[in-house]
Structure 1
Amino acid sequence: MVTPTGRTVVLAVVASATAFFWSAGLAAALLVAVLVAFAVDASCVRRPPALTVRWPVELVRGAPSPFAVTVQPHPGTTVVVRQPQTAELRVEPAEDAGSLEGELVALTRGVHEPSGPVTRSTGPLGLAAWIHHHPAPPPTTGHADLPGARRIAAAVREGTFRDPGLRRGPLGLGTDFESIRDYTPDDDIRRVNWLAGERTGRPMVNTYREDTERDLWCLVDTGRLLASPVGDRTRLDVALDALTAVAAVAQVVGDRIGAVVFDDKVRRVIRPRRADAAALCRSLDDLQPRIVDSDYDAAFQQIATVKRSLVVVFTDVLDGAAAAPLLSAMPVLTRRHVVVVAGVLDPDLVEAVTEVPKTPTDLLRAGAAGDLLDERDDVGERLRRAGAIVVDQPAERLAGACVAAYLRLKATSRL
């Protein structure tokens, strides 16, 4: 699509104005000259410029990734390039002169179709601009936080992952003797082999065979409670980031992991297998919350009779009424399995009760937030009495807390 520039409009107005000061013939001649110059200028930008697009096809939801649109303009022309945003993909900056370099952020998980770049080429005379629409880049897939999960798994593998409730290192969690190695500052003093140290002249510790090949089930609630936002993401996004971290650690320690996805009915069942965190992450990328009440009993029945496993239920409890179905269904799991219930602590509620109220409205808000937190604590206590372990942490700490609970259970031979 060709359009006149501001310069063309000004020249046309000046040419028309000469009719009032000189002759109409002169004005007509000037207008024709402007139109001819416009046509010549437009012919220089009629063909679209060549583009080279560097576009990421794999993104971590919420994490920026660089992209670039490099333009090769025709001689004498100038180009402005714009990369349109979509509801799922944020582009910053979205427009620039010449070539465009910026950051792309996937706002949600799943496969996203980007829009094609748009260029506005201006001719050498600055009279005509031609807007060209170019082919769209390849689809982009937004994933859960797999890099963060791998960092946690690497810390577990290297023995640097720390959990205040776990006094000994995270690996070597079994009780079968395996080998003797040099002592490191992170080792449990109770594992020091004094005889070996006396013989070698340096501190030595015993290591033990890992407790592996256990089954781990992750039950993912995609109902209405997981649809509420936490910052720039939903509670379901936070839950899937935590699940990915648990899967990455299970891969390190040699356990099998499966998943059950449910809302008002069971949507997906993935049987336990040797953990591949990346594959599991990709298989769940398309999950989105649905505004329905979740059927915990139907989901729990899926694994009620399988062999004893660790079960991590990723859900949320808003209040006692919302948690009633979860509480009533919990015995289905706890009579056979070790159960962890993981939820996201609402930062707005915590902020409301910790900040000093400045207005009467703030005081009322703090009172309401305190009541909700008290009710949430009561639900957590009832879940513990039912036999579950409750992990209730802010979004940024949930993944680490779930991994810590998993390792603690392995260390105490609860699985």
Structure 2
Amino acid sequence: MRPDSPLVGQIIAAHGGGAAAAGELVSVEVDRIYLQDGNSPTVARLFAEYGVDRVADPDRVAFVFDHSVIVPDRDMADRVREATAFAKRIGARIYPRGAGISHVIALEEGWYQPGSIVLGSDSHTCTGGAVQSLALGMGASDIAAAMVTGQTWLKVPETVWLRVHGQGHPALRPKDVVLEVLRVFGQRPFLYKSVEWTGDWAASLSLDSAASVASMGVELGAKCVFLPDAPGRGDGLVPIRPPAGAAVLELSIEGLRPRIAMPHSPRNSVDIDLAAGERIDYVFLGSCTNGRLEDIAEAARIVRDRSVHPDVHFLVTPGSSRVYAEALRLGYLETLTRAGALVTPAGCGACVGTQGTVPAAGERVLSTMNRNFRGRMGNPDADIYLSSPLVAASAALIGRIPSADELVCHVDR
């Protein structure tokens, strides 16, 4: 792939879409499709409604049971059983409850490959952009059609380049930068766009951090996102360089301090000192945005030899069973448990509000997930704040949002 040409166009052309211009409708071949349990029954009903009983290539279709790992009620249990039976009928691979979040698994299993087209039945499929996969979240009807035909259609998005530069606060993390992008630019410049992150900051990110940034492409309103090449992130990635004369959005993070997204939108972020002192009742560390090994390792380092505040419920949900096992082997989960955290099986966990822990009315939750819309965690009368794992773990210890100065002490531990 050429570094000075929009990646989305190159990938589409390589999958049968031709040299289509932005705005054109194209049909393309699909490399991989995965579904999650929340909408698998809907896909199953579409198959039944249209009398379809097979898929184009079962080896390229997977079902991941991640939204309801610990099934909370009979209705959900029935839906999980229905989805499992459907997956078996069509011969797709099944990742059972506890295997992890679909997008985390997709990265671990190599479903995302540079230059591939991957469809997922969840909006955060855009995570694949961490390794330059054109990874698209789609609804049940489009997913069903792609399963049957091996193809999908889309409108070719325009490309916008986003360059981040400067040196942030020592406690600044990738999550903070995404929140700052949302604050500064909003969603308008990115709506149905292909967003290519460029510059030294994006190229310096680890694979876990790049996946965290890519996962929030949907919060930007983007159709897809791409991160540039970086050591250790995988073979086949290319540098991202805007073509001559291209308009580039510039964001300076010089001196930028950690951010807190206030209720009830990721766009509503403020400097951490403006939120410092806010009482926190519940801290959630997890999700496809911040449930990876890097995130859990940082939280464990913060709480090592310390105790969670007695008024805080600290919930930790690894993003996959592989992350869980490695965090267990390295002692991170023991450290978190000894400090007073509750560690759950891998999956989406509390992020979607379909299972525990659902916050109580009036509680303030500080979460590392990607969105904090009202009712997101199952209770519209709770207030959800967003932060990085560093900030979340620090708040779990002191029972309130920390100041930037307090975070520096934690960074130096």
Q: TM-score, normalised by structure 2?
A: 0.24
Bigger radius of gyration, 1 or 2?
A: 1
Greater relative contact order, per chain length (Cα 8 Å cut-off, separation 6+): 2
* Structure showing the higher strand proportion among its residues: 1
Q: TM-score, normalised by structure 1?
A: 0.24
